Amino acid sequence: MTPPGTPANESEGTPAEHGDQAAGAPIDDQPFLDATAEAKSRYGRFNLAIIGDSGVGKSSLVNAVFGRDWAKVGAGLPVTRGVEYYHDDSLGIWDIEGFEIGSDRLPADQLKSHLMSIAERPASEQISVVWYCVESHAARLTPAAIAMIQALDAAGFPVILVLTKVDWGKNPVTGKRTVTKDLQQFVAWLEEPHDNGMPISVPYQRIILTSTRDKHGKGTGHGLGELVAETLALSPEDEKDAFRIAQRLNLPWKRELARPIITAASGMAAAAAATPIPVADSVALAPIQLTMMGRIATIYDLELKAMMSAGALAQLGVQFTGQALARSFLKLIPGAGSVIGASVAFALTAATGEAWMRLCEQVHTGKLDVKKISEAWGDYAPSFLDVVRKMMEQKVTKP
């Protein structure tokens, strides 16, 4: 017979025995997979058209901004001569060649034909923004390029004129980046294009000078942050989040998307523990926490199901949502006893979400091998102080 006041999870055997059983209990990873699929569907795919001659540096731009070698993004889909479409879940790239020299068709007509082929594709593949790429060393915009930009504008596409392979120098007095005089003159002409004193319409939205490497062939170059910011500004409102997910330069954007998910999951965990639950039953919080983790993984563009074995993924669930974490904290919280209340459930979930976000960020930026997530979790798992801090924040923010 259980003595009065003995917690239900300690009615048989010892707490340690129950803790060991609980820590090894299988966790259903389906909520993680379902949340990933739901998030992908909700955010959708961002489609970018990149137009420019071969060798202008289009693939280098894609790799620098999106962290993808587009030869590995997916099989190129030849849509028509001079047009290919590459895509994965979050990003689609329309690679459109510049005007074909020797073609008997006008540049605008040639592009219109390409755009008609694209218009026949599904809604999930339609263009959001166009990067029209011109090599900076050329220091000129051809009549064919002008005609194509005019055709893009007439079709309703926002165009960013991207000058590639810029050679940057540094002003010895101000320390600011500088470019050659020829390029400065070219940019000045682009800002007020004219021919023999007569103005020319070149309807782009913005000029961005870029390089994907420094003058020594290293680093991430310059101008890419401006390119990313302008692309986001020109994206349709319902596709901005898709772009934030696809790009890999601006990590604060991803954190801004992830934190509301952590807050919502923490609130759900608190509601689930409104009536305190025994530590041994804290597995009931696992679906909430795994759903949170799946959504955050999507924001960081991580396809963990493809990158990890099913066994490894399930093991993550045991590590992140098992009772061992709760038990280790409860014994340090005065008066907590052996049950999880709303405040503890909220704090554990919030702290775990923040830790998972940091870990995803490391994988996303290539600083952590996805195969080593299980080993690395100890370095990212929330500490006792993290959990207490979240409990205090909850008290402060309560109405």
Question: Span 55-61, mean pLDDT?
Answer: 88
What does the pLDDT look like over 271-282, one tens digit per residue? 988 887 766 566
Q: What is the pTM of this model?
A: 0.81
pLDDT of residue 22: 40
Which percentage of the chain shows pLDDT scores above 70? Answer: 71
Mean per-residue pLDDT over the chain, rounded = 79
Q: Give the best-scoring range by mean pLDDT among 13-22, 311-320, 359-368.
A: 359-368
Instruction: Tell me phi and psi for residue 194, to 5 degrees.
Output: -155, 165
Q: Does domain 45-246 have CATH number 3.40.50.300?
A: yes
pLDDT of residue 54: 80
pLDDT of residue 19: 39
Q: Which tokens hold the place of 82?
A: 């001079």
How far does the chain reach from its first CA to its final CA, in angstroms? 44
374 C-beta neighbours (distance < 10 Å), count: 14
What gap in Å lies between CA 2 and CA 85, rounded to an integer? 67
pLDDT above 50: residue 9: no
Which residue bears the tokens 């239900």? 8
Domain boundaries, the chain: 15-39+251-397, 45-246
pLDDT above 50: residue 195: yes
What gap in Å lies between CA 69 and CA 344, rounded to an integer? 44
Residues 6+ apart with CB under 8 A from 325: 348, 352, 381, 382
For residue 382, give the DSSP letter. Answer: P
Q: Give the best-scoring range by mean pLDDT among 69-73, 251-255, 342-346.
A: 251-255
